[in-house]
Amino acid sequence: MIGIILEKFIRILIILSVITLSGYLIKQHFNYSLYEYRVAKDEVVVIPKGYSGKKIAALLLEREIINDARVFVLWTKIKKYTDSEYLIAGEYKINKGMNMLQIVDKMLAGDIIVYKLTIPEGSLTIEAVNIIVNSPGVTNDLGGKSEFRAQGVILPETYFYTYGAKASELLEKCAKNLNKFIDYAWNQRDPLINNIINNKQEAMILASIVEREAKLDTEKQRIAAVYFNRLKIKMPLQADPTVIFALTEGKTFDLKLSYDNLRFVSPYNTYMVNGLPPSPICNPGKAAIEAVMHPHYTNEIYFVADGKGGHLFSSSFKDHGENIKKYRKALLKNNPILSQE
């Protein structure tokens, strides 16, 4: 009888020992997987929308970012129930040395990679579209819907986005930003421009010309003033970028004009027609738009390049002629070969 009791007692001890040892080993493995197992190298991983915890765990395990999918799933469930948060889809940068605890916290916080793209001021719309669709992580859903010929429809600046962003959504954001900014700028405009330009569209047309003429932001208000002064006296704007736009049909500004080009017949050729062209010739930035809304007070109606990236301004044709001589002199100085011809 005593032997039977002793045998049962020993069995119970063995079972308890096994349970204790198993619990210890499980705890050790759990702690190792959660805290001690580290990512061997920097990784970038994309978590698709709709992925369950199990699918995410399998993806991370396959990449050796974690060592146990079950521990990952268990820990995310614990965190989900305590923090009422969920793993967020997106593209993540997993740094070398991170453990599972840090990875889960990163995904719960939605600490995803943020990209940026910059559309330069004065870009043609098609150039902006090409920048967007060729940016990393962008989904091109534009296809061949349009040639994107309209100008003055987006605001050039830096935009931030995440992996999988649709090109159409980014383009729409560019358009919304422009509408918001032009509304604000128009409402804050100098009242003195009211008798010269009648609406926001005309302001955008003039801003697009200022954008392509000015190389320096510091000169944009002054160049805008020159054009306002010409419009007031019904003098042709004589803006070279409008001629280039006409000649290339709005496809590029990479063209050097000849004197013959200035006689090209087009409603966009401001050497041949008075007033503004029919529509913007590019997508002007904030500085050019602001310059048109708040031009300098000046009686200048001429300007010519100074050979250094800026311009020389004048209010009389005589002074303008002198400035042209200065420009040619600077041109010869900067190009010794020309002076020998």
CA–CA dist 80, 53 (Å, integer):
11
Residue 29 has what pLDDT?
74
- Predicted local confidence at residue 84, as pLDDT: 39
Q: Helix axis angle, 100-109 relative to 69-83, nearest 10°?
A: 50
Evaluate whether residue 71 is within a structural domain.
yes
Cα distances (angstroms) measured from residue 258 to each of 180, 212, 213: 39, 18, 17
Instruction: Clarify whether residues 191 and 78 are in a common domain.
Output: no
If asked whether residues 78 and 157 sit together in one domain, one would say no
* Residues ≥6 apart with Cβ < 8 Å to 271: 236, 238, 243, 262, 263
My answer on whether 311 and 332 are in the same domain is: yes
Q: List the domain range (segments joined by +) for residue 49.
A: 34-112
- H, E, C per residue of the chain: CHHHHHHHHHHHHHHHHHHHHHHHHHHHHHHHHHHHCCCCCCEEEEECCCCCHHHHHHHHHHCCCCCCHHHHHHHHHHHHHHHCCCCCCEEEEECCCCCHHHHHHHHHHCCCCEEEEECCCCECHHHHHHHHHCCCCCECCCCCCCCCCCCCCCCCCEEEEECCCEHHHHHHHHHHHHHHHHHHHHHCCCHHHCCCCCCHHHHHHHHHHHHHHCCCHHHHHHHHHHHHHHHHCCCCCCCHHHHHHHHHCCCCCCCCCCCHHHHCCCCCCCCCCCCCCCCCCCECCHHHHHHHHCCCCCCCCEEEECCCCCEEEECCHHHHHHHHHHHHHHHHHHCHHHHCC
Residue with the two structure tokens 């929308």: 49
Share above pLDDT 90 across residues of the chain, in percent, rounded to a whole number: 61
Q: Are residues 206 and 327 in the same domain?
A: yes
CA distances from residue 126 to 87, 94, 129, 208, 215 in whole angstroms, order as listed: 37, 36, 5, 15, 21
Domain check: are 131 and 63 in the same one?
no
From 112, 127, 147, give the residue that closes a domain. 112
> Is residue 329 very low, low, confident or very high in pLDDT (cuts 50, 70, 90)?
confident
Burial 46-63 (b: 16+ CB within 10 A, else e): ebeeeeebeebbbbbeee
Same domain for 89 and 38: yes
Q: Is residue 12 part of a domain?
A: no
Largest CA distance in the chain: 129
Q: What pLDDT is attached to residue 327?
A: 81
Residue 196 has pLDDT above 90, yes or no: yes
What is the structure's pLDDT at 296?
Answer: 94
226 or 320, higher pLDDT: 226
Strand partners, 311: 305
Res 197 pLDDT > 70: yes
Alpha-carbon span 316 to 161, nearest angstrom: 50
Assign 82 a pLDDT band (cuts: 50, 70, 90). Answer: very low
Residue 6, pLDDT score = 55
| pLDDT of the residue at 147 | 66
Given a cut of 70, whether residue 115 has pLDDT beyond it is yes
CATH code, 56 = 3.30.1490.480
Residue 183 confidence (pLDDT) above 70 = yes
Residue 152 lies in a domain: yes
- In this structure, the answer to whether residues 163 and 302 fall within a common structural domain is no
Q: Is residue 11 domain-resident? A: no
What is the C-alpha end-to-end distance of the chain, expressed in Å? 125
190 and 213 both lie in a single domain = yes
- Kindly state whether residues 150 and 86 are assigned to the same domain: no
Average pLDDT score over residue span 282-305: 95
* Domain termination residue (choose one: 132, 157, 178): 178
Q: Which tokens hold the place of 105?
A: 């916290």
Tell me whether residue 313 is in a domain.
yes
Give the separation between CA 51 and CA 91, rounded to whole angstroms: 13
In the block, which residue shows the tokens 């719309």?
125
pLDDT band at 83 (very low <50, low <70, confident <90, very high): very low
Residue 2 lies in a domain: no
Cα→Cα distances 339→97, 305, 311, 331, 332, Å: 64, 18, 22, 9, 5
Same domain, 226 and 304: yes
261 belongs to a structural domain:
yes
Arithmetic mean of pLDDT, 46-51:
88
pLDDT attached to residue 335:
61
8 in a structural domain: no
Indicate whether 156 and 52 sit together in one domain: no
**Residue 291 vs residue 25, higher pLDDT:** 291
Q: How many domains, in total, are found in the chain?
A: 3
**Percent of the chain beyond pLDDT 70?**
87
pLDDT band at residue 341 using 50, 70 and 90 as cut-offs: very low
Last residue of a domain, one of 78, 112, 146: 112
**Dihedral of CA 152/153/159/164: which sign?**
negative
Residue 241 tokens read as 């970028």
Confidence of residue 17 (pLDDT cuts 50, 70, 90): very low
Same domain, 144 and 262: no
Mean pLDDT of the chain: 87
pTM here?
A: 0.82
